[in-house]
Chain A
Amino acid sequence: MIPGPFSYHRPATVADAVKLLSTLGDEARPLAGGHSLVPMMKLRLASPEHLVDLHGVAGLKGIRRDGNTIVIGAMTTQHELLASDEIGKSLPILDETALLIADPQVRYRGTIGGNVANGDPGNDMPALMMTLGGSYRLEGNAGGRDVAASEFYQGAYFTALEPGELLTAISIPVPPVGHGYAYEKLKRKVGDYATAAAAVVLTMAGGKVATCQIGLTNLAETPLLAEDAAKAVIGTSLDPATLKKAAAAAEAIMSPAADARGPVEYRKHVGGIMVMRALQRAAGRAS
């Protein structure tokens, strides 16, 4: 449980951070909250020669509204999300999800940027970003680019980030007033990754589902958008048969690994249950 030797860097600007990462190459890793990287280093599953600590980069912090978009700096902590009035008002599902991430100590330190950039299928925010239609700002030596969350994740710990690139901000379109939302997460205990989790954002019109997005956490190597499941509920009043159909459609795209949380068939089954429960709870909140 002792990390190997490494050099420590603490840049003050995004430009310096990007420069360090591109100069140092594969042997450098950016350090945000450290909740994934530091344990990996202690187990020597990761042995970066250089750590680029982003805590000194003021430009990576903060939450602002830009028209109909919420922009969140990558180094914003889960605790700061929960403390933000803007998030509570515009994106309440972020609060609901952040509260299901570990415990207060972890949330004081853990950042939204680290959560979405690491590509860990167990992290909760990536599926949520896909559900909300969010996008990530990536800054590299050759300039910046925006990548949709739905196109960012390629495999477990593999993302669209190129060597030397840094995820600096997350942009999320504000869902319509009166939308319904829910994040249903089944976990064994506080601090555990999801056995299965589902995010739902929907709107209702005349008692029927008008629009719907469904995201899934920890049910495949990457977060998933359950598009067929979402389609199955459009125009319905979420009757039991429709819920079952949506769950089945969602289960069809799941490919979780068997682990201590349960065998594959269990994790898929409860994945479907989370979808049904999230749909019902989201509909109950919609107006």
Chain B
Amino acid sequence: MNDMTPTREQREAKLEGMGCKRKRVEDIRFTQGKGSYVDDLKLPGMLHGDFVRSPHAHARVKKIDDTEALKVPGVLAVITAETLKTVNLAWMPTLAGDVQMVLADGKVLFQNQEVAFVVATDRYAADDGINKVVVEYEPLPVVIDPFKAMDADAPVLREDLAGKTTGAHGPRKHHNHVFEWTVGDKDLTDAAFRKAEVTIKEMISYHRTHPSPLETCQCVCSFDKIRGELSIWGTFQAPHVIRTVVALIAKIPEHKIHVISPDIGGGFGNKVGAYPGYICAAVASIVTGKPVKWVEDRIENLTATSFARDYHMTTEIASTKEGKVTGLRVHVLADHGAFDACADPSKWPAGFFNIVTGSYDFPTAHLSVDGIYTNKAPGGVAYRCSFRVTEAAYCIERAMDILAQKLGMDPAELRLKNFIKAEQFPYHSALGWEYDSGDYHTAMRKMMESVDYAGLRREQAAQRAAFKRGETREIMGLGVSFFTEIVGAGPSKNCDILGIAMFDSCEIRMHPTGAGIARVGSKSQGQGHETTWAQIIATEIGIPADDIMVEEGNTDTAPYGLGTYGSRSTPVAGAAIAMAARKIRAKAQMIAAYKLEVHEDDLEWDIDGFRVKGLPEKTMSMKDICWAAYNSVPPGMEPGLEAVSYYDPPNMTYPFGAYICVMNIDVDTGVYKVRRFYALDDCGTRINPMIIEGQVHGGLTEAFAIAMGQEIRYDDEGNVVTGSFMDFFMPTAVETPHWETDFTVTPSPHHPIGAKGVGESPNVGGVPAFSNAVNDAFSFLGSTHIQMPHDYWRNWKAAKNLGVFA
């Protein structure tokens, strides 16, 4: 050893492996405007497509006249359902087992539904063309209020389903009914309610909203007639699934379909599904033999592709007088819009909503969900959440506050009393899940100490007294939220999409000089995979993260994966990466043993290579092993250093967290001020704390938006009244509160590196924290539940209804 020998700490630091706040490598291009998005792609001879959309929410389409449109210079074709029928593509299957019109076939079922696709030599001509297509409509009565959709005399929306008493998820009990899904023990739960000392019941709505990523949905389709190959560049969160879907519905052999997701400007669930734009662009390219681009504008994105939530949850809790919960009963009316296009694993019509028992030890529970059709856009996507988990978390966290209020207990105390205890893990919930790990009491108490919870409650009591004395017009609320998520879909025993198990994958190739490439089945839309995936590999095989290139999104080169959504990348793809890296290391160990002339078992791993046990000077670095892999492997061993892993997770992972929001509301205007927001997250092993913090900031900002104003709202005629950023609340940095972040670490026992996923936690846990803060602020005036969103005028209205202006 001499002075030049790096210390263990220096060697460790050089790797920038797990736990390092490594700067995001992709930001070098993003911050310089050098990202490469779908709309940056310009192919020779490329055409542009744009939609004629319905102004009506429900109408019969009597006639489509394209005569004038075809006279517009540059307009080449107007595609309608009749055109698509010639290739059997007027309708397409949805991920939820329903079918959906690609273009209006006889009628339209929601405002801005796709009616015709105009193909032109440039975007201007396409838009000129759509303005010249004349469509004759006969308006029909609309169904907007989900609570009236199953009235006996409600208009029939889906005429194509006439006579079908069974859908993809069992019996249909009304012409506007999609499915009923029940979980849990009804008899036991009913008995718990009969015996209960205290019960609460509240209809808790989680309104319709939208993920609204910065970049809208878009694609370029290019069909090569000579080779018979279709290339699709698109904003796909799950490119392999898109390839398989295209192969199944367009009858093109799957090896002749090339799907490429380039850089994606945010997804949040919006870019999981398949949309009419993709089908129409593909058909247009097949018909014209030229590449066709389709790019959604903001209004189209907000009104036609993929709403989220719209769950109306009648929630009941049974409890003892002392506040020990004894039963939970939830009925959900789920508004699916015109087609059931929810992006859930196929067997889960309401996603993982049965996580609704949350963080609490409910001895019994029963859940039923009725999905219904209305004259609204289809979707029901998992907007920064794992398949209806955010609805479930909101439901139980709001209900626990309502119970606390009825019992006269502090909401934090009620939670502490009912938490699943650390020693109960793995915990089997009443609705069928096996929670992998958790330490809820520790996280909750850390949150309470960090913010001086008792002191905040004292301040609130003083504020309320001052309000009653007329000394202030501000009221103060504390919003406590303790969420448990279920992410990482998922084990093949219960998760598939169209029959494909929800594994994920990684292929690693190490090059002779010690650098390498990792190709992964996930697809970053801003999550920073190029940074974090390399960190996992760095720690596992001792090669600096900077020497590992991560590639995703090209179905020709990446191993088959199910994509990125539902916080599944780290739990599933992250595991595949670690397992592939371990295969690399196992082979490397054999090479090192051969080169060092010892038995494999005499070697031990040491940060960035192997050393001989008891002889610390006798080492071989991973970099040198890479070289040796290409020139001097042991006799009988194949040269090279590559590995592939497909990882089928044994269980989901269950991240959790303790959040609190401190808010003041001016009753005269309804204007709120978020004074403090503290978020403690436990996502198990932390790969990159800086990226986790960024994820939490982003998710909390979305949660703030949703809880405090963001909604897709329809008027009685079915017109979307929040169809642009003028009306759809998208907070800027000015409105966004300051976020305080904290953490505990409870690793997942079944995940190779103990990580659980974090991207969606802040949205899931944040919404109830904001809503509980508003509700807590008003509770002393006699209110039990105020529906979201809590924008200014609704807060004022709540104050007025509670008599503060009397």
Interface residues of A (CB under 8 A from B): 1-2, 4-5, 44, 103, 186, 188-192, 195, 259-263, 266-267, 269-270, 273
Contact = CB atoms under 8 A, between A and B. Distances in A.
A273 B727 contact: no
Contacts of A262: 792-793, 796
B731 A189 contact: yes
A269 B793 CA distance: 10
B668 A188 contact: no
A263 B730 CA distance: 20
A191 B726 CA distance: 8
B729 A188 contact: yes
Given A188-B729, A189-B731, A260-B721, A270 B796 contact: yes
B128 interface: yes
Given A188-B729, A260-B721, A260-B722, A5 B791 contact: no
A188 B734 CA distance: 11
B727 A270 contact: no
Contacts of A269: 796
B131 interface: yes
Contacts of A190: 732, 734-735
Interface string B492-532: 00000000000000000000000000000000000000000
Contacts of B123: 2
Contact of B792 (A2, A103, A186): A186
Interface string B707-745: 001000100000001100011011110110000000000
A141 to B, nearest CB: 33
Contacts of A186: 669, 671, 792
Nearest to A195: B792
Interface residues of B, number: 31
A273 B669 contact: yes
Contact of A260 (B668, B670, B671, B727): B727
3 tightest A-B contacts by CB? Answer: A262-B793, A2-B127, A1-B297
B299 interface: yes
A1 B722 contact: no
Given A260-B713, A270-B668, A273-B668, 4 more contacts: A4-B127, A266-B793, A269-B796, A270-B792
12 contacts: A2-B123, A4-B131, A44-B131, A186-B669, A188-B709, A188-B792, A189-B730, A189-B732, A195-B792, A260-B721, A270-B796, A273-B669
A189 B735 contact: yes
Contacts of B722: 260
A189 B793 contact: no
B71 interface: no
Interface of B: 50, 123-124, 126-128, 131, 297-299, 668-671, 709, 713, 721-722, 726-727, 729-732, 734-735, 791-793, 796-797
Contacts of A2: 50, 123-124, 126-127
B150 to A, nearest CB: 29
Contacts of A273: 668-669
A240 to B, nearest CB: 11
A279 B670 CA distance: 20
A174 B299 CA distance: 44
Contact of A191 (B126, B713, B721, B732): B732
Given A1-B298, A190-B732, A190-B735, A261 B793 contact: yes
A266 B797 contact: yes
Nearest to A269: B796
A189 B729 contact: yes
Contacts of B729: 188-189
Contacts of A1: 127, 297-299
Contacts of B731: 189
Nearest to B732: A190
A271 to B, nearest CB: 11
Contacts of A4: 127-128, 131
Nearest to B791: A188
B82 to A, nearest CB: 26
A6 to B, nearest CB: 11
Given A263-B793, A266-B797, A189 B734 contact: yes
B345 to A, nearest CB: 35
B467 to A, nearest CB: 17
Contacts of B297: 1
A195 B709 CA distance: 14
A173 to B, nearest CB: 33
A5 B792 contact: no
Contacts of B732: 103, 189-191
A287 B543 CA distance: 72
Nearest to A267: B793
A44 B726 CA distance: 17
A191 B124 CA distance: 28
Nearest to B300: A1
Contacts of A195: 792-793
A195 B795 CA distance: 14
Contacts of A5: 124, 128
A186 B672 CA distance: 12
Contacts of B126: 2
A7 to B, nearest CB: 14
Contacts of B793: 195, 261-263, 266-267
B674 to A, nearest CB: 14
Contacts of A189: 729-732, 734-735
A262 to B, nearest CB: 3
Contacts of A188: 709, 729, 791-792
Contacts of A261: 793
A105 to B, nearest CB: 12
Contacts of A259: 727
A2 B729 CA distance: 24
Nearest to B669: A270
Nearest to A276: B668
A195 B670 CA distance: 12
Nearest to B671: A186
Nearest to B128: A4
Nearest to B130: A2
A212 B726 CA distance: 34
